[in-house]
Amino acid sequence: MNTRSEALEIAVDDEQIDATLLAPSAKMPGVLFVHGWGGSQKRDIARAKGLAGLGCVCLTFDMRGHERTLERQQRVTREDNLRDLLSAYDRLARHPSIDPSAIAVVGSSYGGYLSTILTSLRPVRWLALRVPALYRDEGWLTPKRELDRKDLVEYRNTPLPPTANRALAACAAFEGDVLIVESEQDHLIPHTTITNYLSAFARAHSLTHRIIDGADHGLTSEACRQAYTSLLINWATEMVVGARIGDGVFEEVAV
């Protein structure tokens, strides 16, 4: 665990004795949750509470076109939602308890897709993607509701090199730790899309891939939701909490 040290003098009778105080660093990892298209932060609250219990500062949020601004969903573009994500990241990074070099991003589906692009624009140390979606670069400023669904199905079933897609290119440049969670019975994100993501993370420090048996895209089964929560918490414990212990040093001050 990271520590800070401070040289002290302790009064004893009429004298002073030298001492060094060592305490845990006040800075903590930050975790940003990014929901999928048609979802909301409500789905992430319980998992965020679990990670907060591990000593992380967590932030969940609703992208524009969802929840309170649902009426705007017909007009929202990927650019709009990426800007939402950037603003949420910056708000989390400004928290006084956050270590800006220790931020994790947890994204689901559409949120996972946007999260990969975020890594090319902001520092991210850990990246967890559940059933990450994939979209053509073309039509970036087109309202997402207007994207051709049949074309998306074809595109997501096509093997792609990282150079062919902005999100995959961001993955290829990412050097942190990665978790990818796939649903066995996903009707929206085929295995080919997951394979494209896995292949792109060639420079990742570590890459963990898990498949939730019997799960659909939205994790409609309570058992599947619990399985994902367990996967995420266990991975975060190993990566985020483990890194705090492994990176920590005791810096002794001679006085």
Q: What is the pLDDT of residues 5-14, one digit of tens each?
A: 677 777 877 7
Read off the pLDDT of each residue in 38-64 and give the average, rounded to a whole number. 91
pLDDT score of 182: 98
What are 216-246's pLDDT values in tens digits? 999 999 999 999 999 999 999 998 767 765 5
- What confidence tier does 254 reach under pLDDT thresholds 50, 70, 90? very low
Residue 252 exposure: Cα atoms within 13 Å on the Cβ side? 2
Q: Work out the burial of residue 225: count CB atoms within 10 Å of its CB; fewer than 13 is exposed, 13-18 middle, 19 or more buried.
A: middle
Write the single-letter amino acid at 24: P
- What confidence tier does 54 reach under pLDDT thresholds 50, 70, 90? confident
- Residue 252 above 60 pLDDT? no
For residue 170 the two structure tokens come to: 């961001």
Write the single-letter amino acid at 188: L
Rounded CA separation 20/23 (Å): 10
pLDDT score of 249: 36
Angle at 107 between CA 103 and CA 108, to 5 degrees: 165
Q: In order of start, what are the domains of the chain with their CATH numbers?
A: 29-245 (3.40.50.1820)
Residue 93: how many other CB atoms lie within 10 Å: 16
Read off the pLDDT of each residue in 116-134 and give the average, rounded to a whole number. 98
Q: Is the dihedral of CA 79, 80, 81, 85 positive or negative?
A: positive
Residue the block writes with tokens 């040290």 = 5
What are 196-214's pLDDT values in tens digits? 999 999 999 999 999 999 9
